[in-house]
Chain A
């Protein structure tokens, strides 16, 4: 590949051009209830060329690599269409690297039969709790070969396995339908999805117990959130706003997002780190060939940094962070998070809860969304807290807040950081799902708006 790509790139005249190519083979199993809904293998091969003109970009994706030269010629023509402020790229040392996959067990060497039996075993557990009506279990393993070359001489070949297992139990009593979910996976081998019986049991038990939970009246509460939710919180409530492509050409937003601005108290640190091995959003080089690195978004409560592509870094005079990612060869890389988390503090979970007189404890997550000012995130379940003790189980409520004021309402950070990933991921500009991990310790937020019955 290297000599082919470099020879094609040598012949052209463009300020900057790059080629990406991917070969992905994935196996997918999907159980719904007692039945295997689908079982399939797919072989996907495709690539793209991206060319920078003076003031913008052109991008062409394809499945037939034989036409590479003509696509490049076409892309060079289209790259001249954008007019206006010049687009520059932050300098990066061109890397020539081959990265091999890291794993313990190669999923390709596990027979389809073995995967089928593993999944049906988990699925039986998902269905085992009282009043569970159905289950939804999705297993996907993929073997990914990614090739990257650009006109600056970079050539990076990365191989990886990505594996994900999502397990949901759905319980029903009349019109009351409740579900609970557990997910595992990341960059790595088959070992990541083995021995997950306990998680399957937990999902089944939670779904079943949720039938007895009470809806919560809307209002403002002191809320303690668990590590799953504090991860979503880090991702939605702050992570997206740290993506430089939202601010780099918007002076007004940039004023609001100046480095050093205080968002929360000294105990708060939020970090994005693709270099942690084995997580959903782990990688060594991003899709622009930039080495990945750890970035502090919030340090001791103050805005400390943001996530960049080469373009946003150049425009803002900051260093590239290696956060330009694409979900597949069909899309250009854009600024994305990787593994985003709130760093652990000093309090124990028990202390954090025991200090609450009247509030709620929210656990698990169903999703989250932001419009850069407001965010929402939906817990799976919760408990009322009365005089420091968990009491009534509650369901079907949604947390919301204003990003600019919410972080200052965090008054306790726990010592129990956990990272989570699974199937699904993050969505932005039509690119979804991008594998990421999110996580944090237990945290406590005062005066949080909760939508309920």
Chain B
């Protein structure tokens, strides 16, 4: 800090130290135990009004770190902000110290338990599973007097169950994660088993337009476009399709979405963002009306507005706006009621080809890796070898119902959602 301050008017040091352990199961059995002990430091400077950045993993390279950041600043972007000083930082639940002491043997047992339950029902399948625990210590100090550090823990469990039969591969993926240690063996096994049961029968579907239910697991396909649309950086560059739509209706009024880094024990929760701004809950879409974009300091400065505490980063990347926990407010309809309501339609659960279409415009065109057909209010079997195509904003505008039971899919909290139409070709 002192070294950098000799030449720069503003300095920020962002440091991370982490420790994690993963147990991996392959072909139904424990195959490897992996750990990492990592650390790194990111240095951001403002020199002659311009921003420079550099990062390093080891303390022996600090001189080079400072020199590189200062050199970068001579070409860097003009800074439209000042580093923030001290402020009131809320207490956010994102650390469970008991995760530190979970023995590897216990993680192995949890994995074995889930696999045993699945194989009992479906002995021909092969299971892969991964359990991970991570502890991260993050510190930030800057030349405006901010000095803060916090601990964060994360525990996650994923299972992939797979059967290869000529002309009929079936793979089901389920996962959970939280800042708290929770036992998910039974829950994950049950979800996998239920889906394999539904997939036992094959069903046909003709090319056409159908009502569709997206399970929580499939929702990120739709939300990744929205995440780009609300990103202050893309708004600033005038390539977000939402750039001129603040205060306007962009989805059905059934949809409300928040960005919330204060959500207790959620995977993207933290007391501050990557620039030391206190975390908060931001309404993004309120009953279909676009309420806010998300910003970090620099992008907000460029847009002459305030940061929304959405600076995302690691030690080795400079901050950039990104969502934290994206929360879709649950509705009041159960999944069963949605299925019952459908005369002929489908459920989308897993897709391949997400993120390859014109995502900015909200386009998607995906192969249904795992999808089910509904006929006369009942799930009748798996549909396969078909493409589902549509536009995220059209879909969100055609919402029929928002589900009651929400869950986290990585950092997105979402219920299943029932939409009026999707294009199917096969």
Contact partner, B237, options A133, A256, A397, Cβ 8 Å: A133
Chain B residue at smallest Cβ distance from A397: B365
A369 at interface by CB-CB < 8 Å: yes
Which residue of chain B is the closest to A380 with respect to CB atoms? B358
Taking CB atoms, residues of chain A closer than 8 Å to B385 are: 374, 402, 449
> Chain A nearest CB: distance from B209 CB in Å?
11
Pick out which of these stretches binds chain B: A39-47, A283-291, A415-423, A439-447: A39-47
Q: Which residue of A lies closest to B423 (CB)?
A: A218
> Is there contact, CB below 8 Å, between B361 and A56?
no
Per-residue 0/1 for A26-45: is the Cβ within 8 Å of any B Cβ (1 yes, 0 no)?
Answer: 00000011011111111111
| B residues 49-78 in Cβ contact with A at 8 Å | 52-58, 61, 64-65, 68-69, 71-72, 75-77
Partner-contacting stretch, out of A58-66, A190-198, A272-280: A58-66
Whether a CB of chain B sits under 8 angstroms from the CB of A316 is no
- Residue B126 at the chain A interface, CB threshold 8 Å: yes
The distance in angstroms between the C-alpha atoms of A256 and B167, with both chains bound, is 10
Q: Is A355 part of the binding interface, using a Cβ–Cβ cutoff of 8 Å?
A: no
Q: Are A218 and B356 in contact (CB under 8 A)?
A: no
User: Which of the residues A39, A44, A82 comes within 8 Å of B75, measured between beta carbons?
Assistant: A39
Report the separation of the CA atoms of residues A378 and B389 in the bound assembly, to the nearest whole angstrom: 13
A452 to B426, CA, bound (A): 11
A175 to B245, CA, bound (A): 12
- The answer to whether A81 and B108 have CB atoms under 8 Å apart is yes
Q: Are the CB atoms of A82 and B58 closer together than 8 Å?
A: no
Q: Say whether A112 contacts B72, CB under 8 Å.
A: yes
Contact of B239 among A38, A39, A170, A396 (CB under 8 A): A170
Cβ of B54 and Cβ of A40 under 8 Å apart? yes
- Which segment of B3-11, B30-38, B147-155 sits at the interface? B30-38
A374 touches B367 (CB 8 A): yes
Stretch binding the partner chain, chosen from A92-100, A247-255, A346-354, A383-391: A247-255
Does B360 count as interface, using CB distance less than 8 angstroms?
yes
Q: With A36-B76, A63-B40 in contact, do A249 and B27 touch (Cβ < 8 Å)?
A: yes
Does A377 sit at the interface, judged by CB under 8 A? yes
Residues of chain B within 8 A of A452, CB atoms compared = 365, 389, 425
> Which stretch (B158-166, B215-223, B333-341, B399-407) binds chain A?
B158-166
B171 x A371 contact (CB < 8 A): yes
Q: Give the secondary structure class of B's interface.
A: mixed
Contacts of A40 in B (CB 8 A): 52-55, 68-69, 72, 318
Chain A residues with Cβ below 8 Å from B55 are: 40, 42-43
CB distance from A49 to the nearest CB of B (A): 10
Quick one: which of A60, A134, A172, A252 contacts B163, CB cutoff 8 A? Answer: A252
With A and B bound together, what is the CA distance between A400 and B124 in angstroms? Answer: 28
Whether B365 lies near A43 (C-beta < 8 A) is no
For the complex, what is the distance from the CA of A70 to the CA of B335, rounded to whole Å?
A: 52
Point out the residues of chain A lying under 8 angstroms from B207, CB to CB.
Answer: 218-219
Tell me the bound Cα distance from A64 to B76 in angstroms: 31
Assess the A61–B389 pair: CB atoms within 8 A. Answer: no
Are B65 and A43 closer than 8 Å at their CB atoms? yes
B251 CB → nearest A CB, Å: 16
Interface residues on B, range: 35 or more
Contacts of A64 in B (CB 8 A): 37, 39, 58
Chain B residues lying within 8 Å of A63, measured Cβ to Cβ, are: 37-40, 57-58
Q: In whole angstroms, what is the CA distance A41 to B64 when docked?
A: 9
Q: Is B316 an interface residue (CB 8 A)?
A: yes
Contact A378 B357 (CB under 8 A): yes
Q: Pick the contact of A398: B64, B162, B239, B365 (CB < 8 A).
A: B365
User: CA separation between A174 and B385, bound complex, in Å?
Assistant: 35
A108 at the interface (CB under 8 A from B): no
Contact at A396–B57, with CB atoms within 8 Å? Answer: no
- List residues of A (103-151) whose CB comes within 8 Å of B's CBs: 112-113, 116, 133-134
Please state if A377 and B356 are interface contacts (CB–CB under 8 Å): yes
Min distance, Cβ B56 to any Cβ of chain A, angstroms: 4
User: Is B116 an interface residue when CB atoms closer than 8 A count as contact?
Assistant: no
Distance A162 CA – B104 CA, assembled complex (angstroms): 38
Segment 385-407 of B: residues with Cβ below 8 Å from A = 385, 387-389
A84-B29, A366-B357 are known contacts. Are A219 and B425 too (CB-CB below 8 A)? yes
The A-contacting residues of B in range 1-51, CB under 8 angstroms, are: 26-27, 29-40
Chain A residues with CB under 8 Å of B54's CB are 40-42
Nearest 3 interchain pairs by C-beta = A376-B353, A451-B387, A218-B425
Chain A residues in contact with chain B, CB under 8 A?
32-33, 35-46, 55-64, 67, 71, 74, 78-79, 81-85, 112-113, 116, 133-134, 170, 172, 175-179, 218-219, 249-250, 252-253, 256, 330, 332, 366-378, 395-398, 400, 402, 404, 449-453
Residues in chain B within 8 A of chain A (CB atoms): 26-27, 29-40, 52-58, 61, 64-65, 68-69, 71-72, 75-77, 104-105, 108, 124, 126, 162-167, 169, 171, 207, 233, 237-239, 241, 316, 318, 352-358, 360-361, 363, 365-367, 369, 385, 387-389, 423, 425-426
- Sample of 11 further A-B pairs with CB below 8 A, known A43-B68, A60-B37: A40-B72, A46-B57, A134-B238, A179-B360, A218-B389, A256-B166, A372-B164, A373-B169, A374-B385, A376-B353, A398-B356
Q: Can you identify 22 A-B contacts, CB atoms within 8 angstroms?
A: A44-B40, A60-B37, A71-B37, A79-B33, A82-B29, A83-B29, A113-B75, A172-B238, A175-B361, A177-B358, A218-B387, A249-B126, A252-B164, A330-B38, A374-B169, A376-B366, A376-B367, A377-B353, A396-B357, A396-B358, A396-B361, A398-B365
